[in-house]
C-alpha cells in the first residue's frame, strides 16, 4: 500500500473515536453506523495499524484503467476504489459510504457500471476499467459531462463523477427514455444536494444526442 | 477489515477443499464470488475470515432455457438473468423480482447463487457494536426482538427474527425451483424451499449446506403458473430498497377459474415464505375479491409481530390479493 502520511493519521484518529460512538449508537444507530464505516475505511486504507495486526501477503493484480496497464502488489483487502484513488491517484471516483449505497464510486468494467467500493481489486484482475478520468477525449468532454454543465446538474459535485458514470451506462443500456425510467435506473446514485431534476434532464439531453461511451 | 489471505484456487475441487476445512459459521475460510454482500460484511467486520476463497471463473454462468424449464449457472449475474428472453414469456415473476432488486450497478456484479446466500439485512446483525445477536454470536440474544424491528419477520421466527432479504428467492420458491449443490462428497439437488432452515435455536445455520458445499446451479421447471406470474414488492421507497412485504404469484387459469395457484411471500418470513393454505383454498375458485381476501387471511395464521412490524400481518394479505388480481388481469 501507499506510504503513511498525515492525512491517513487524521483518518485513523476518526476511526479511533468509534469506541465512544458505539455507546451513542444505543440512541443513534445511524451515527454509530457512520463511525463504523469511517473506521472500516481507515482500516482498509492502512491495514497495519487499525487492527493491530500485520498486513497479509500482498497479491499481484493487473489493473487496466482508461487504456493503461498497471501491475500492482496489493493488500488483498484493497477495494477497486481504494486502488484507483490511493495507488493510481485517480481521485475522480469518490468514496461516499463505502458500502455500495450511494453510488459516488461508480466506474465501468468491460462497459458495465459497477460500484468500485464493493469490488475487491483482486476480483477485477485484467478487466477493462473506465473511470471519470477516462471519459473525455482530450479536451472534448463526453456529451454527458457537457450536459451536466449545461443543465447545472450538481451543487457540491461530490456525487457527480458517479452520477455521470452511471448515466453513461444508463444511456448505453437503453434505459434513458422517459424521466421515470431514468429515475428508476439511476436509483443506485444518491445526491444529497437534491439535484435530481437537473441530473435527469442532463441524461435525457445526452441520451437524445446519442451520448454513448465513445461519444466524446 | 480483518486481514485475510486471498486464495485463487485453480479449479472448483481446490476451492471446495479450502473451504471445507472450515466449520458452519464462524469460519476461518469464506467464499467470495461477486462480493457485493461479502465486501460489506468484511468492511463492517461482521465476517472476519482468515482466508477468502475466490470463486471467480470457477462457476458456470450460463442461462439455458428449454422445454422443461430453465437452468441458471450459479455465477450468472442478476442483470444477465433479468435480460434473458425467457423472462418475458415463461418466467415473468423471476425477471420482475430481479429488476426490483438492489440497483443496476449491484445487479451487474451480484451472482444468482450469492443473492440466495446473502446474509440478513438486520441492522443489529450488520453492526458489531451490538454484541447481542444470536445470528452473529450464538446464545447472546436478539437485539431486534425488543428493538427497532420495522423490517423484521412475523413468520418463522425463533432466536432470530431477521426477514430473508432476497427477492428472487421468493419467486423461485413460488415456482418450485431447486438448487444443485456440490461438495467434496459429491453433488445433490435440493428444493429451494427445503434449502433454507428456520432459525429455531440455531439461527447461525441458515441453510442445509454442509461445510464447503456450494450452489452450482438453479433449476426452475416450466409451468402454466410460471407463464402467468407476477412479483409485487411493497417498500419504504420506490427503488433500491428491500421489501417490507412482497408476493410472488403464479396463476394457471381455466377461464375465470383458478386451476392452480402458487404464492410465496418476501419480507415477512425468516425464509422465503410459501403459503400452501392460500394456494389450496383458492384451487377451483374464481378471482372474486371477497374470495381472494378470505383466502389471503390464511397466510396470517401463526404470524407474530414484534411491535414496529405488526402492520405486516395485514399488509401481506392485501399484497397477496393485489398480486393475484394483477396476474389474473394479464393476457
- The pLDDT tens digits for A164-191 are 999 999 999 999 999 999 999 999 999 9
pLDDT, tens digit, 9 for 90 and up, residues B284-302 = 999 999 999 999 999 999 9
> Residue B241: what pLDDT?
97
Q: Which residues of A touch B39 (CB under 8 A)?
A: 79, 100, 117-120
A215 located within any domain? no
User: What's the whole-number mean pLDDT along residues B223-247?
Assistant: 97
Per the document, the length of chain A is 216
Residue A36 has pLDDT above 60, yes or no: no
**What SS3 state is found at B244?**
coil
> Which of B104-113, B173-182, B203-212 shows the lowest per-residue confidence on average (mean pLDDT)?
B203-212
Q: What percent of chain B has pLDDT over 70?
A: 98
Task: Report the interhelical angle of A160-172 vs A196-208 (nearest 10°).
Answer: 40
Domain that holds residue A180: 143-208
**Which pTM does this prediction carry?**
0.89
Is there a single domain that holds both residue A19 and residue A63? no
Higher pLDDT, A29 or A198: A198
Spell out which residues of chain B touch residue A25, defining contact as CB-CB under 8 Å.
Answer: 127, 129-130
In this complex, the residue of A43, A59, A113 whose CB is nearest that of residue B105 is: A113
pLDDT-derived band at A61 (thresholds 50, 70, 90) equals very high
* End residue of a domain, out of A80, A107, A134: A134
Other beta carbons within 10 Å of B282: 24
Residues A109 and A155 occupy one common structural domain: no
Give yes or no: residues A70 and A97 share one domain.
yes
Residue A214 placed within a domain: no
**Residue A94: predicted pLDDT:** 98
Best B51, B57, B108 residue to mutate vs chain A (most A CBs within 10 Å): B108
Q: Using alpha carbons, select from B263, B275, B309 the residue that is nearest to residue B154.
A: B309
CB contact under 8 A, B127 and A33: yes
DSSP designation for B196: B
Question: A70 and A112, same structural domain?
Answer: yes
The pLDDT value given to residue B23: 60
Closest to B191 measured CA to CA, from B182, B181, B201, B199: B181
Express as a percent the part of chain A with pLDDT over 90: 70
Q: For residue B170, is pLDDT > 60?
A: yes
Q: Quick check: B64 contacting A, CB < 8 Å?
A: no
Using alpha carbons only, what angle is made at residue B102 by residues B16 and B61, rounded to the nearest 5 degrees?
A: 40
Query: What is the pLDDT at residue B254?
Result: 95
The beta-carbon neighbor of B239 closest among A99, A117, A184 is A184
* Residues A67 and A22 placed together within one structural domain of the fold: no
Helix or strand or coil: residue B159? Answer: coil
| Chain B residues inside the 8 Å CB shell of A110 | none
Q: Mean pLDDT throughout B122-137?
A: 97
Residue B71 buriedness (CB in 10 A; 0-12 / 13-18 / 19+): middle
CA distances to A14, A55, B129 from A35, in Å: 8, 23, 10
Phi, psi of A122 (to 5 degrees): -60, -25
Helix (H) or strand (E) holding B319: helix B311-328
> Can you tell me the mean pLDDT for A132-142?
96
CATH of the domain at A97: 3.10.20.30
Q: How many domains does chain A have?
A: 3
Residue A113, min C-alpha distance to chain B (Å): 5
Whether residue A100 and residue B39 make contact (CB cut-off 8 A), yes or no, is yes
Residues B4 and B39 sit within 8 Å (Cβ to Cβ): no
Average pLDDT score over residue span B264-280? 98
What is the predicted pLDDT for the residue at A22? 34
What is the C-alpha to C-alpha distance for residues B186 and B22, in angstroms, rounded to an integer?
18
Most distant pair of Cα atoms in chain B: their distance: 61
CB atoms within 10 A of CB B286: 13
Mean pLDDT across chain B, nearest whole number? 96
Same domain, A36 and A91: no
Residue B311 forms contact with A (CB below 8 Å): no
Which residue segments constitute the domains of chain B, with CATH numbers given? Answer: 5-54 (3.30.43.10), 225-328 (3.30.390.50)
Q: What is the nearest CA distance from A106 to chain B, expressed in angstroms?
A: 8
Average pLDDT, chain A: 81
User: With contacts defined as CB-CB under 8 Å, which chain B residues touch A59?
Assistant: 6
Residues A129 and A147 in one domain: no
Dihedral of the alpha carbons of B290, B294, B300, B306, in degrees to the nearest 10? 50
| Cα–Cα nearest to B123, from B216, B65, B40 | B40
Please name the helix (run of DSSP H) or strand (run of DSSP E) that holds residue A109, with its range, or none.
strand A106-109
Determine the 3-state secondary structure of B268 from DSSP.
coil
Residue A71 sits in the same domain as residue A122: yes
Nearest chain B residue (CA) to A22? B129
DSSP class of residue B299 equals G
Interface membership of B45 toward A (CB under 8 Å): yes
User: Does the complex come out with an ipTM higher than 0.90?
Assistant: yes
- pLDDT number for residue B278: 98
Compare CB distances from A119 to B2, B35, B102 and report the shortest one's residue: B35
List, as ranges, residues 224-253 from B with C-beta within 8 Å of A: 238-240
Confidence of residue B28 (pLDDT cuts 50, 70, 90): confident
Cβ A166 vs Cβ A186: under 8 Å: yes
Asked whether residue A50 is assigned to any structural domain, the reply reads no
∠ Cα B184 B187 B189 (to 5°): 140
Min Cα–Cα distance to chain A from B172, Å: 24
Pair (A118, A72) in one structural domain: yes
| pLDDT value, residue B211 | 85
Residue A51 falls inside a structural domain = no
User: For residue A194, with 0-12 CB atoms within 10 Å meaning exposed, 13-18 middle and 19 or more buried, which class applies?
Assistant: exposed
Amino acid at each position: 500500500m501507499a506510504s503513511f502520511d498525515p492525512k491517513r493519521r487524521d483518518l485513523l484518529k476518526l476511526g479511533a473515536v468509534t469506541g465512544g460512538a458505539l455507546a451513542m449508537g444505543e440512541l443513534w444507530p445511524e451515527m454509530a453506523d457512520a463511525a463504523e464505516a469511517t473506521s472500516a475505511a481507515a482500516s482498509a486504507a492502512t491495514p497495519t495499524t487499525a487492527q493491530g495486526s500485520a498486513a497479509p501477503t500482498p497479491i499481484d493484480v493487473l489493473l487496466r484503467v482508461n487504456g493503461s496497464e498497471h501491475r500492482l502488489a496489493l493488500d488483498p483487502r484493497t477495494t477497486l476504489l481504494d486502488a484507483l484513488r490511493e495507488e493510481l491517484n485517480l481521485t475522480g471516483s469518490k468514496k461516499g459510504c463505502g458500502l455500495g449505497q450511494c453510488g459516488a464510486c461508480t466506474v465501468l468494467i468491460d462497459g458495465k457500471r459497477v460500484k468500485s467500493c464493493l469490488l475487491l481489486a483482486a476480483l477485477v484482475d485484467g478487466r477493462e476499467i473506465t473511470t471519470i478520468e477516462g471519459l473525455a477525449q482530450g479536451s472534448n468532454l463526453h456529451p454527458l459531462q457537457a450536459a451536466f454543465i449545461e443543465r447545472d446538474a450538481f451543487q457540491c459535485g461530490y456525487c457527480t463523477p458517479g452520477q455521470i458514470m452511471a448515466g453513461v451506462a444508463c444511456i448505453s443500456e437503453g434505459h434513458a427514455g422517459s424521466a421515470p425510467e431514468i429515475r428508476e435506473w439511476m436509483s443506485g446514485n444518491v445526491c444529497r444536494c437534491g439535484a435530481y431534476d437537473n441530473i435527469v434532464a442532463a441524461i435525457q439531453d445526452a441520451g437524445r444526442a446519442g451520448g454513448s461511451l465513445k461519444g466524446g | 477489515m480483518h486481514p485475510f489471505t486471498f486464495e485463487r484456487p485453480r479449479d472448483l475441487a481446490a476451492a471446495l477443499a479450502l473451504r471445507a476445512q472450515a466449520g458452519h459459521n464462524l469460519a476461518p475460510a469464506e467464499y467470495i464470488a461477486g462480493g457485493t454482500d461479502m465486501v460489506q460484511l468484511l468492511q463492517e467486520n461482521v465476517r472476519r475470515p482468515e482466508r477468502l476463497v475466490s470463486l471467480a471463473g470457477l462457476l458456470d454462468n450460463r442461462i439455458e432455457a428449454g422445454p422443461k424449464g430453465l437452468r441458471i449457472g450459479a455465477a450468472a449475474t442478476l442483470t444477465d438473468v433479468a435480460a434473458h428472453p425467457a423472462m418475458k414469456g415463461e418466467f415473468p415473476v423471476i425477471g420482475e423480482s430481479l429488476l426490483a432488486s438492489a440497483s443496476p450497478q449491484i445487479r451487474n456484479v451480484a451472482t444468482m447463487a450469492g443473492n440466495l446466500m446473502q446474509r440478513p439485512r438486520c441492522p443489529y446483525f450488520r453492526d458489531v457494536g451490538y454484541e447481542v445477536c444470536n445470528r452473529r454470536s450464538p446464545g447472546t440474544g436478539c437485539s431486534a426482538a425488543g428493538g427497532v424491528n420495522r423490517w423484521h419477520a412475523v413468520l418463522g421466527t425463533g432466536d432470530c427474527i431477521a426477514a430473508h432479504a432476497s427477492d428472487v428467492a421468493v419467486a423461485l420458491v413460488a415456482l418450485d425451483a431447486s438448487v444443485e449443490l456440490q461438495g467434496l462428497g459429491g453433488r445433490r439437488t435440493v428444493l429451494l424451499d427445503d434449502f433454507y432452515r428456520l432459525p429455531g435455536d440455531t439461527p447461525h445455520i441458515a441453510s442445509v449446506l454442509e461445510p464447503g458445499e456450494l450452489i452450482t446451479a438453479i433449476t426452475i421447471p416450466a409451468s402454466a403458473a410460471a407463464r402467468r406470474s407476477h412479483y409485487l414488492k411493497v417498500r419504504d421507497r420506490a427503488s433500491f430498497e428491500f421489501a417490507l412485504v412482497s408476493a410472488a404469484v403464479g396463476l394457471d387459469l381455466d377461464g375465470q377459474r383458478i386451476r392452480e395457484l402458487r404464492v410465496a411471500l418476501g419480507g415477512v418470513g425468516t425464509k422465503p415464505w410459501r403459503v400452501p393454505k392460500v394456494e389450496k383454498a383458492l384451487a377451483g375458485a374464481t378471482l372474486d375479491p371477497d374470495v381472494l381476501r378470505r383466502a389471503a387471511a390464511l397466510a396470517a395464521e401463526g404470524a407474530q409481530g414484534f411491535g414496529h412490524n405488526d402492520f405486516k400481518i395485514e399488509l401481506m394479505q392485501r399484497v397477496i390479493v393485489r398480486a393475484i388480481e394483477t396476474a389474473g388481469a394479464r393476457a
